[in-house]
């Protein structure tokens, strides 16, 4: 069937209508007409795969990852760069559209107010400092938005071949190159080697080694051995488990630290009050808040990450690293903390993709801190939790969004809430 693509939905899937029903179709761009095949039908919607572009958008480009292009069979398209066929400025416009739609449709914020915010998903690092126009005819190796990943995860199939998965499947797609990875990771050549008997291959940068030195780029097989790599943010070193979580974009940690620091309302908080860093990982935000003179409790459920948070903050003396689920910590504090204990406090939370959730937000509201700064990798989870805070008397006073995942539908948002 032929479909006219009209918009973009959450998770970066494009939207068309057919016989009164919404059809989700990847590998397209709003404004295009594509030939597609229905692969799943539900009562209210259907899913399709695009087979051919009949009327192309002026924003269509050769896919940044050639194995992800629409010229390949749908089941053999690498799914790790789902916006890779779109000019980079248009990618950011589409992400801003997704954020605005989430705020109004799911978060129930006033549409006129949201429009007045002039939401933008901003480039970072090298892309922020130069013209990122992705022109027609530009050589694929010169396209902006490449070489930002400091960690790359490849899956291994039963034949030992490695690569990203195809979209919505566990089919491994071998790739000739890793255009989103920093050069040092691609130069390892791990994506060109067989890995029989293994399940996953991760490539990671260790900044303990000088640039281009042996050992700086490392191959981690099947979850690693518990060793650490060093990551550096504004000259401060963080130990991270070699297979553990760390913001993958080379400029993401500094961008997020700077944004959180810039959003802190110093007139509302007291440096001597108890401050919280929830879902704190290895202590990125806790360390920077402590360096600014705040006493911080950082809470992380993963034992390894919590151990490293304590190590990363040990020299500061103002960070208490707790290993427990943030939800359990909040519930106990909501029940036991004296009234007004957090009245001049800052709470930073960086929950997983699913968000903090109704119960955790309810307990956070009971603590009544002076300011909440919420770091989100999923706009829908953010706005659901934002609505809970606003309904409890908070105000969303500032919102920033960053393109920390070029050529994919993902982006990061940082929001500040005050009472």
Is 300 part of any known ligand binding site? yes
Is 199 part of any known ligand binding site? no
DSSP assignment of 12-70: G-EEEEETTEEEEESS--TT-EEEEEEEEE-SSEEEEEEEEEEE--TTB---SSGGGST
Structure tokens at 359: 């119960």
Structure tokens at 136: 């027609």
**Any long-range contacts for 14-17 (C-beta under 8 Å, 24+ apart)?**
16/48
Q: Is 264 helix (H, G, I), strand (E, B) or coil?
A: coil
Which residue out of 121, 330, 377, 415 is catalytically annotated? 377
Q: Is 80 helix (H, G, I), strand (E, B) or coil?
A: coil
Q: Do 319 and 283 form a contact (C-beta atoms < 8 A)?
A: yes
Question: How many Å apart are CA 129 and CA 403, to the nearest integer?
Answer: 14
CA distances for 280 relative to 19, 273, 306, 325, angstroms? 47, 18, 8, 10
DSSP state for residue 109 in the 8-state scheme:
-
Known active-site residue 162: no
Question: How many Å apart are CA 350 and CA 298, to the nearest integer?
Answer: 11
Question: How many Å apart are CA 270 and CA 259, to the nearest integer?
Answer: 19
Is 152 part of any known ligand binding site? no
Structure tokens at 332: 């106990």
Question: How many Å apart are CA 149 and CA 167, to the nearest integer?
Answer: 19
- Neighbouring CB atoms inside 10 A of 380's CB total 21
β-pairing, 121-122 vs 395-402, is parallel
Question: How many Å apart are CA 106 and CA 98, to the nearest integer?
Answer: 11
Give the H or E element holding residue 410: none
Is 336 part of any known ligand binding site? no
Backbone angles phi, psi at 156, to 5 degrees: -120, 130
Report, as residue numbers or ranges, the catalytic residues.
377
For the annotated binding site for S-adenosyl-L-methionine, the residues are 247, 279, 300, 350
């Amino acid at each position: 069937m032929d479909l006219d693509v009209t918009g973009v939905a959450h998770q970066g899937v494009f939207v068309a209508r057919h016989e009164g029903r919404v059809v989700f179709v990847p590998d397209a761009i709003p404004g295009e007409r594509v030939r597609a095949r229905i692969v799943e039908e539900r009562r209210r919607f259907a899913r399709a795969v695009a087979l051919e572009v009949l009327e192309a958008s002026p924003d269509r480009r050769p896919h940044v990852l050639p194995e992800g292009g629409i010229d390949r069979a749908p089941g053999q398209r690498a799914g790790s760069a789902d916006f890779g066929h779109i000019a980079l400025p248009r990618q950011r416009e589409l992400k801003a559209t997704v954020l605005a739609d989430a705020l109004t449709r799911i978060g129930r914020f006033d549409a006129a107010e949201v429009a007045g915010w002039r939401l933008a998903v901003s480039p970072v690092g090298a892309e922020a400092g130069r013209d990122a126009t992705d022109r027609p005819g530009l050589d694929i190796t010169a396209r902006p938005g490449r070489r930002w990943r400091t960690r790359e995860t490849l899956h291994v199939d039963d034949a030992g071949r490695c690569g990203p998965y195809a979209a919505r499947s566990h089919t491994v797609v071998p790739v000739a190159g890793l255009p989103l990875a920093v050069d040092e990771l691609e130069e390892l050549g791990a994506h060109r080697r067989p890995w029989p008997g293994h399940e996953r291959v991760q490539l990671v940068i260790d900044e303990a080694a000088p640039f281009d030195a042996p050992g700086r780029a490392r191959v981690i097989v099947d979850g690693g051995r518990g060793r650490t790599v060093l990551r550096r943010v504004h000259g401060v070193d963080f130990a991270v488990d070699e297979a553990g979580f760390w913001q993958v974009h080379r400029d993401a940690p500094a961008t997020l630290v700077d944004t959180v620091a810039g959003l802190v309302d110093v007139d509302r908080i007291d440096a001597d009050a108890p401050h919280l860093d929830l879902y704190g990982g290895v202590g990125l935000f806790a360390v920077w808040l402590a360096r600014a003179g705040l006493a911080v409790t950082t809470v992380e459920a993963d034992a390894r990450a919590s151990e490293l948070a304590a190590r990363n903050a040990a020299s500061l003396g103002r960070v208490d690293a707790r290993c427990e689920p943030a939800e359990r910590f909040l519930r106990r504090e909501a029940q036991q903390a004296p009234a007004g204990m957090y009245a001049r406090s800052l709470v930073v939370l960086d929950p997983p993709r699913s968000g903090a959730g109704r119960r955790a937000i309810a307990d956070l509201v009971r603590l009544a801190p002076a300011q909440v700064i919420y770091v989100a990798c999923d706009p829908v989870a953010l706005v659901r939790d934002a609505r809970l805070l606003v309904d409890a008397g908070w105000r969303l006073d500032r919102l920033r969004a960053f393109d920390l995942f070029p050529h994919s539908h993902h982006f990061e948002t940082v929001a500040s809430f005050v009472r």
